[in-house]
Amino acid sequence: MDHIARLAYSPSCWLFLQTINVLRVANWAFLVRRNQIRKELKEKMRVFKRGKSWYADYKVGGKRKMKSFGKHKKMAELFLKDVELKMLRGELKLVDDNVTFKDLLPKYLEYSRLNKSRKTLTVEMCRWNKFSAFLKEKGVVKLRGITPELIEGYKGRVLKTSSASNFNNDLVLIKAMLNKVVEWRCLKENPLKDFKKLRNSNVRELRYLTVEEIERILATADSLMQNVIRILLNTGLRRAELAYLEWEDIDFQNKLIKVQSKPESGFHPKSYRARSVPMNPEVERILMDLPQRGKYVFDNGHDQLLHPEYWFGRRFKKILRNAGIKNACLHTLRHTFASYLVMSGVDLRTVQGLMGHSTITVTERYSHLSPDHRSRAVQVLRFGNRIETNTNPAP
């Protein structure tokens, strides 16, 4: 008995009893609140008969709703029970489908401004201006007026003056906004969720440079652009990623280049995805030899960009013209980086990580191979010298 008494007055036992009391009080408060909610819901709900039909009458978010069930009173009662249960669980959400496109667009643009780059936002604004003009012409004001039939008409309008890929880009943007609108409970569902992209018959293999072309380009370029070209060929960096590269992003000890956002400069990687790219010996040598004039790798000496990011693209076009190389641009160096990795046997998942692609589908565009590489690949097949054909008729 003494042992039991000591246990009853022990700190652990006292804490356990206190916890039980707290749970009892919380459970009592929950039951009181649940009964109160049920009472309020019953005051807002009723089943009544008008003429020969039974109706379920209820309120959601201060708005009155009525639903007819014909001669089936029991179905109306069961429906209200289901509504009551959903309300208690917080599953019944009111959708405001009277929102206009004009009111919603500024909200979506603010979302885009916070989550996308300035360059992307500028391109999207051009697309929104074009789509807004189309909606105004068709007299569509509310979001629920954006239907598959309407988009079919918009598709015809775009294809008169532009390509299928241009319409596909517009469609991706419109569907993305409608998905966000559904999250904001301004639409019940995306009316374009099953609308398909156009098949683009003009899609070509991505251009990459041959070794001979690379040699001609380097022979034509000045010392600055030679360093830029070699870095891009060996890292796959995007133009802006190279322009905004800082010395703090270079980890010489671990031989890594960090691609990350720089809010103070207004730069962030595509899709805000930070990544690290390993340095091979050539890139490490180039960076070690570059003078550190400021915080940027290519700095003007005052902690500012040596050149705007677009300057490198323009300069590269002049080099290509002087070298007699066509159908290429600065971004072709990035395609070349990925293509040679794949042709060297690097798996697509690794290439995806190095390139910073959001999905493997994007990386698969770089899995094309050169004709010489394909030719060497099929040479490994060995079926013997004779190929026999089965001429016997099928039974």
Residues 6+ apart with CB under 8 A from 85: none
pTM over 0.85: no
Contact 148, 191 (CB under 8 A): yes
Contact 189, 182 (CB under 8 A): yes
Distance CA 272, CA 266 (A): 12
H or E segment at 56?
Answer: strand 53-60
**Rg of the chain (C-alpha set):** 33
Written as tens digits, the pLDDT of the chain (395 aa) is 455 455 455 666 656 666 776 667 666 665 665 566 555 555 567 888 888 888 888 776 566 778 888 888 888 888 888 877 776 665 555 556 678 898 889 999 998 888 777 778 888 999 999 999 999 999 999 988 999 999 999 999 999 998 888 999 999 999 999 999 888 878 888 999 999 998 875 556 688 999 999 999 999 999 999 999 999 999 999 999 999 999 999 999 999 999 998 888 878 888 778 999 999 999 999 999 999 999 999 999 999 999 998 999 999 999 999 999 999 999 999 999 999 998 888 888 999 999 999 888 888 887 665 556 666 677 767 765 554 545 555 44
Instruction: Detail the DSSP E strand segments found in 155-248.
Output: none
Tell me the residue length of the chain: 395
Distance CA 374, CA 376 (A): 5
Contact 258, 269 (CB under 8 A): no
Contact 122, 266 (CB under 8 A): no
